[in-house]
Chain A
Amino acid sequence: MKGNIQTLILAVLESGPLHGYGMVREIQARSEDALAFGEGTIYPALKALERDGFIEGAWDTSATGPARKVYSLTQNGAYELARRRDVWRRFTHSIDQVIGGEQSVQPA
């Protein structure tokens, strides 16, 4: 999970800008609550993605309550997401090839 959280963040930001808590909710909603993780783990990943130029943050002070940092995907982030999607699909395809799934096991 830890290694993939950056990819999940890039994927949810593809639909539009979000703040940290919004991303957590979106990931949980898309996975139908199957992906459980400490919500705070999103912040180190956001720092890394922002430093690498894949996302950019801006403070939103318009809403009521404390100011929120809203992130959006950059052009480089979109390329990176496409690359990670490709890697992930090739990986899952390889695993599928090995473990199969349709054939029933016949006792010897």
Chain B
Amino acid sequence: MSNPPDQDQPTALREEFLDRFARVIEKCSPMERFETLSEIRAHLVASAAAYEELGLSPVEAMTAAIDSFGDIRKIGREVMIESASPERSRLSGFVSVGVGSISSAMLFPLADAAFVVTHTVSNPSPGMAAIGAVTGFFLGLCLFLRPRTLPVAALRAGLFVPTILLILVCLLNRAIPGLKFLGLTFLGFGVVNAMAAAFVVRSLRFVPTVRGRKLSAK
């Protein structure tokens, strides 16, 4: 026997809201996500019941409860940040930086051998491995850090602006033909690095973040 439509509709509204919230906090661990959604479900039920006592219909009451809850994107993001343990955040940083550094250190000499060797140094090139490792380290670091604070935003800009300038210089410098390939290599493997690190971080459900808590007055 199915419930009357008037009872189903508030439940559908509530569950649709919770589905949207679940998508925002998808990077939380399954247990954390389940507990958070259960807690919010109980909140909405209690809130809607209070609105019903004021004389609203069940549908109006659930709509009002959802409206009173606030911006789910903003709340979800904050829940995700607060749910990440310091150990997990630290680990995600090591993973990002590690993946970036190691893959760059391996890929840059290969690129050097494939594209630049005739114009620059011998094959394989330890210099390119060092450049790759340093570049990968900073790319990983940038992926790990989120620009919640001015120094982090400055660090990002400080890395990417010189990299882009380097690429432009290399592309425009016709006098040394090999260097244009070096510029393209930087660009290509920089993107590959960032994607690889992002994939690992995402698949392990880490939440890359830097806590901005130090900024808020306690």
Contact = CB atoms under 8 A, between A and B. Distances in A.
Contact of A51 (B46, B85, B218): B85
Contacts of A44: 75, 78-79, 81-82
Interface-centre pick from A3, A39, A67, A69 (highest chain B CB count, 10 A): A39
A2 B68 CA distance: 16
A40 B82 contact: no
B42 interface: yes
Nearest to B215: A3
B79 A43 contact: yes
Given A38-B71, A39-B47, A44-B79, A66 B38 contact: yes
B39 interface: yes
A47 B79 contact: yes
Interface string A64-108: 011111000000000000001001000000000000000000000
A43 B68 contact: no
Interface in A15-29: 19-22, 25
B39 A39 contact: no
B160 interface: no
A48 interface: yes
Contact of B82 (A48, A67, A87): A48
Given A39-B68, A51-B85, A84-B218, A67 B78 contact: no
B83 A40 contact: no
Contacts of A6: 218
Task: Name the interface size band of chain B.
Answer: 20 to 34
B39 A68 contact: yes
Contacts of A41: 70, 75, 78
B42 A69 contact: yes
Given A3-B216, A3-B217, A39 B82 contact: no
Given A40-B72, A43-B75, A44-B79, A21 B85 contact: no
Contacts of A39: 43, 47, 68-70
A65 B213 CA distance: 35
Given A38-B69, A65-B42, A68-B42, A47 B217 contact: no
25 contacts: A3-B216, A6-B218, A19-B46, A20-B42, A21-B47, A39-B43, A39-B47, A39-B68, A40-B40, A40-B69, A40-B71, A40-B72, A40-B75, A41-B78, A43-B36, A43-B40, A43-B79, A44-B75, A47-B79, A48-B213, A65-B45, A66-B38, A68-B39, A69-B35, A69-B42
Given A47-B82, A66-B41, 4 more contacts: A19-B42, A38-B69, A40-B70, A66-B38
Interface of B: 35-36, 38-43, 45-47, 50, 68-72, 75, 78-79, 81-83, 85, 213, 216-218
Task: List the 5 closest A-B pairs by CB distance, nearest first.
Answer: A38-B70, A44-B78, A47-B82, A40-B75, A21-B46
